[in-house]
Structures are given as C-alpha cells and as structure tokens.
Amino acid sequence: MSARALLEVRKLGKRFAPRHGREPSPWVIQDLSFSVKEGEFLTIVGPSGAGKSTLLNIIAQTDTASAGEIVFDGTSVTTRDSRALRPGFDRRIGYVTQDDNLLPWRSTLDNVLFALEVQGRLNEETRAHAEMLIRAVGLAGFERYYPHELSGGMRKRAALIRTLVYDPPVILMDEPFAAVDAQTRTQLQADLLNLWTLGRKTIIFVTHDIIEAIALGDRALVLSRPPARIAAEHIIPLPRPRNVKNIFAIEGFAATYEKIRADVQ
Amino acid sequence: MFWLPSIRWRTVADRGVVLVFILAAWQIGSAIVGTYWLSSPWATASRFAVLIGNGELIRHASYTLLEAAAGTFMGGVPAVLLPFLLRRHPILVAILDPFMAGGYGAPKLAFAPLFILWFGIGIESKIALVASVVFFIVYFATLSGVRALDAKLVQMAQIAGASERQLARHVVMPGAVPAIFAGFRIAVPYAVGAAVIAELISSNRGLGYLVQTGVTNFDTTSVFAAILAATLVVLGTSWLMNMLEALLLKWRPPVLSIMETGT
C-alpha cells in the first residue's frame, strides 16, 4: 500500500442555496478536511443528519460545494457551478448509495453489466470478471431475475458489485447496508471485505454504526454535530483478515469502540 | 401464458350470467318498443353473421381499423417523441403547456366537418381526426412518465459513465414505457371511435358509413351489427395492447387488483 494521498478534502464547506426568497441554509458542513490514501479503507462515523450523505454527494460531484476544494490525484476537482458538475468524475469515483438504485427493467446480470455497457468496455474478459463477482457474493443462479424478484440483501449485493465491476479508483459507500437485517448486514460486510481484499480499492465508507466502522475500516473519522467537521480520527488496530461475525472477540475491539463512542456526540 | 389473463372459472361463469341479463333486457326492450325502433339481439346476431359471411363487415371494419391504426401512428409517434425532445428544455414545456392543455380539452370530434372540408371525404380526413384525438392523450401520458423519472436512477447512470444519449435510451425511455402504454390504452378506443364518427359524417366506406346507411334505411339491425363490429375491433386492439404490455413490461412486479383477482 503506497502512502500517497489519492483524494484530499480541504476546508470543505456546504450550505444549500436560497430558495423562494428564504435565506441560504446554515452551514451543514464547515471547514471539513481529511485525506484518503490509495488502497485505504476509510470509514466515517456520524449521527443521522450530520451531513454524511451531503459530503459524499460533493465528492461524487452530484452536488456542489460552497467552500473549500477536493483534490483528486493532485488536481482540484470541486466546482461551485452545478452545470459544470461531472457526476462520478469521469468514472474515477464509484458511488454505492443507500438505496440500491437498480434499474427495475434490467435483470441482475444486466444491472451488473450496466456501467461496462455504457462505457463500451463489455468484452469476454470484463464479462468473466462480472460473473466471478456474481458468484463471489452468492448471486449465481439469479442472473436472469429482475430486481423486484430479489431479496433486499441480494439487491444490495447486486448494487455493490455493479460498482466494483468497472473498477473505479475510489469507491464511496453511503450506509449501503443500513436497510437490511442484522444477520444479512454482517454477511454483506464479510462479502465486502472479501471483495476488497481481492482488489484493494480505495473506499470511503460512511455509517452511523460504530461497530461497522471498526469492523471494516483501516481508519475511522468521527464527524461532529452540524456544521460537520472532523471531530476525531482513530486508527483501527484490528489485524486483517478480520472475521466480522466475531468482531467483538477480536482483541482491541472493545477499547477502540469505547474511544470512538466517546467522540460521537 | 402471458397472452391469456388468468381468471378463475367462477368469474367466467358470473360474466356469462351478466351477459344473459343484458341480452334478456335488450330482447324485452325490443319486444316492447318494436323491432322497427330497436332491433333484437337475435336479429342483430344473424345479421352480423350474414354480413361476415358476404364479406361486407370485414371490408368496412378493416377500413375503419386502417384509419384508426394510421391515425394512432401519426398522432402517437410525435406525442411520444416530443416529451423526450423537450426533456432538457423545461421552459419550452412550460410555454407549450396551456396550448397542449387547450388541445387536450378541445372537443376534437367537432373538428370532423372541418377536416372533411380540408382533406376530403376520403381516408385522409379520418386519419387527421384520429391523429388529433390520439396525440394529446399520448402526449400528456408520456410527459407524466418522463417527469416521474427517478432522479436517483439518473444520477446512478451518470456516475457509471452514461452519456446524455445513453441516459435517454437506458433510463428515461424504459422508465416511461408504462406511462406511454397507459396513454395508448386510453387513446386506442378513442381512435376507433373518432374514425367511426368521421365516417358517420361523410364517407362511402367503414363501420360509421354502415351505421349511417342503416339509419337512413330505418334498418336498426344493421346499425347494431355495425356497432357490435366496432366494439369487437376495440376489444381486439385492447387485447393486442395487453399482450404487448405483458411482453414489454415483464420486469414489473405483479400488481394484484380487486378487478383482476376475481375474488
């Protein structure tokens, strides 16, 4: 793992534009700075309404910033102009959102292949890679099923590998496992870690769940109450590979949990 | 089988009972006022069989169907395309809106004499009338489908690298298909109706012409046979639409309605 910062957020600020004669909103994010190294699994913990999704939307360029900048691989990418936004920053930033956002008229396989298809990169090799990912998350046999025929957990898996399959250098994840039951969630976390071990992508994973932040991350950032900034940073001392199903028994978990919990207001 | 609606036997039997009631009421009514004014179901059925046998009904019905189909195509295609072309120009949509709403609300059938004046008593005037009826219905249905588009799906597709054209093709279009179908489902019976009305006013062929000559000759049996044929044409096109919809929209979760379950 190289120590180079792949993505850097510098003094980021966000307030929503005035609408219908009202004042602009108060700052929801202010003076927020952090960086993520290549191949790092960074988790960001914060309470609901702390601006976590807004932060990821700005990084993914589906929303504008009001102050500060984001530097990707040495070049500044933020923009204040909503018309100049480039969602996904030319396929360099993948985004797994809270909702699975699968296209309901496409089968599982066609949803997974969607990005490759629109990018014109669908060939024997990428197709084989997609099929490998489908098997790896246990979706084999469901390739021809439509999203409404899949369970919530299966849809999450399909949404996850739909982004992994085209291999963006940075992947943002916005509480992707929030809406599933506890058992399924643990399994999805295990699947994610397995997939991450295969490719060692740079991941920024946002969650309100401290346990999840510890189980998955190399490093956890804690967001303050709004306006959001980084309140604390914790290196997760747990060795890899981790057994997420047994995370509580791993030495160092309890101490890390206590430290982070103290910082989450 | 997607082309056969799954309906319980009980429902089929009950429908048979309702049909018998309607036919009985018709028969009784015709006996009371006399077959001169109101033909009987039996006379209508036998006339229908005769007109089918000598090819008259098929000839007239296919002419009406041709007008309805051509008009639906000429009105429907621009009505589907326009909301897509205007998708990125909400201001144009807003400017057009009152005129479209006016066109939707105007009684198009009242234009029939005008179209006949402009395009003659041939097929052109009928197609024009059908097209004007179909266009506004399908335009508003498609527009609502394009507007109901899930912004999150669009964002997902953009992040995945979809161009504006790919977005239209892979996200906007398939997302609007159910609404477009809903529009055509409403428009098609109106299309057949408009064709028949235009023929009523002035023509020398078609089911409306058959109705017109029937009335002129005080032959209500022919009128009913022609109306029965027009009804069957509408039912046939509806069945065709259902089939096409089941085929194109098989990705949709099944919706159980009280009307379909028959319970």
Helix (H, G, I), strand (E, B) or coil at A228: strand
What's at A243, amino acid-wise? N
In this complex, the residue of A60, A91, A99 whose CB is nearest that of residue B161 is A91
Q: Which residues in B38-136 belong to E strands, given as ranges?
A: none
Phi/psi for A94 (5° steps) reads -90, 155
Q: Which of B154, B156, B169, B251 to mutate to test the interface with A (most CBs of A within 10 A)?
A: B156
- Spatial distance between the Cα atoms of A242 and A197, rounded to a whole number of angstroms: 11
Select from B83, B68, B81, B82 the least CA-distant residue to B128. B68
Query: Do residues A180 and A152 make contact, with C-beta atoms less than 8 angstroms apart?
Result: yes
| Domain layout of chain A by residue ranges | 5-92+168-263
Give the model's pLDDT for residue A42: 96
Q: Which of A58, A105, A106, A107 to mutate to test the interface with B (most CBs of B within 10 A)?
A: A105
- Spatial distance between the Cα atoms of B187 and B125, rounded to a whole number of angstroms: 18
- Spatial distance between the Cα atoms of B245 and A204, rounded to a whole number of angstroms: 42
Give the model's pLDDT for residue B258: 47
- Spatial distance between the Cα atoms of A264 and A257, rounded to a whole number of angstroms: 10
Query: Do residues A177 and A155 make contact, with C-beta atoms less than 8 angstroms apart?
Result: no
For residue B243, the tally of other CB atoms under 10 A from its CB is: 13
Q: Which residue is it, tokens 């058959």?
A: B210
List, for residues B116-151, the tens digit of each pLDDT value: 999 998 999 999 999 999 999 999 999 999 998 899
Please judge whether A146 and B251 are an interchain contact, meaning their C-beta atoms are less than 8 angstroms apart.
Answer: yes
List, for residues A84-95, the tens digit of each pLDDT value: 888 888 899 999
Phi/psi for B215 (5° steps) reads -65, -45
CATH 3.30.450.20 assigned to domain B47-251? The reply is no
Residue A20 banded pLDDT, cuts 50, 70, 90:
confident
Q: Which residue is it, tokens 């059925």?
A: B45
- Of A23-27, A69-73, A149-153, the range with the lowest mean pLDDT is A23-27
Give the model's pLDDT for residue B196: 94
Q: In chain B, which residues have their Cβ closer than 8 Å to the Cβ of A60?
A: 159
| Domain layout of chain B by residue ranges | 7-38, 47-251
Query: Do residues A87 and A61 make contact, with C-beta atoms less than 8 angstroms apart?
Result: yes
Give the model's pLDDT for residue B256: 52
Query: Do residues A114 and A102 make contact, with C-beta atoms less than 8 angstroms apart?
Result: no
Give the model's pLDDT for residue A121: 92
Please judge whether A146 and B155 are an interchain contact, meaning their C-beta atoms are less than 8 angstroms apart.
Answer: no
List, for residues A215-231, the tens digit of each pLDDT value: 999 999 999 888 898 98
Select from A174, A111, A169 the least CA-distant residue to A143. A111
- Of A18-27, A121-130, B123-132, the range with the lowest mean pLDDT is A18-27
Please judge whether A103 and B161 are an interchain contact, meaning their C-beta atoms are less than 8 angstroms apart.
Answer: no
Report H helices in B148-261: 151-159, 164-167, 173-201, 207-216, 220-248, 258-261
Tokens of A64: 């504008």
List, for residues A94-124, the tens digit of each pLDDT value: 999 999 999 999 999 999 999 999 999 999 9
Supply angle C-alpha B246, B251, B254, rounded to 5: 70
Single pTM value for the model: 0.82
| Complex-level ipTM beyond the 0.95 threshold | no
Average pLDDT over chain A, rounded to whole?
A: 90
Q: What is the mean pLDDT of residues A68-81?
A: 87
- pLDDT under 50: residue ranges of chain B: 1, 257-263
Query: Do residues A33 and A10 make contact, with C-beta atoms less than 8 angstroms apart?
Result: yes
Give the model's pLDDT for residue B6: 62
Give the model's pLDDT for residue B1: 47
Report H helices in A20-60: 52-59
Phi/psi for B154 (5° steps) reads -60, -45
Residue of A nearest to B172 (CA): A103
Q: Which of A101, A126, A146 to mutate to test the interface with B (most CBs of B within 10 A)?
A: A101
Report H helices in chain A: 52-59, 108-112, 114-118, 124-136, 152-164, 182-199, 210-216, 253-263
Select from A96, A21, A35, A29 the least CA-distant residue to A66. A29
Interface of chain A toward chain B, CB-CB under 8 angstroms: 60, 62, 87-88, 90-91, 93-95, 97, 99, 101, 103-106, 114-115, 118-119, 146, 148, 162-163, 166
Minimal CA separation from A115 to chain B, in Å: 5
Tokens of A210: 């401290």
What are the strands of the beta sheet with A75-76, ordered from one edge?
A29-37, A5-14, A67-72, A75-76
Please report the sign of the dihedral spanned by the C-alpha atoms of residue B148, residue B151, residue B152, residue B158.
positive
Minimal CA separation from B142 to chain A, in Å: 18
Q: Which CATH superfamily hosts domain A5-92+168-263?
A: P-loop containing nucleotide triphosphate hydrolases (3.40.50.300)
In this complex, the residue of B160, B166, B251 whose CB is nearest that of residue A88 is B160
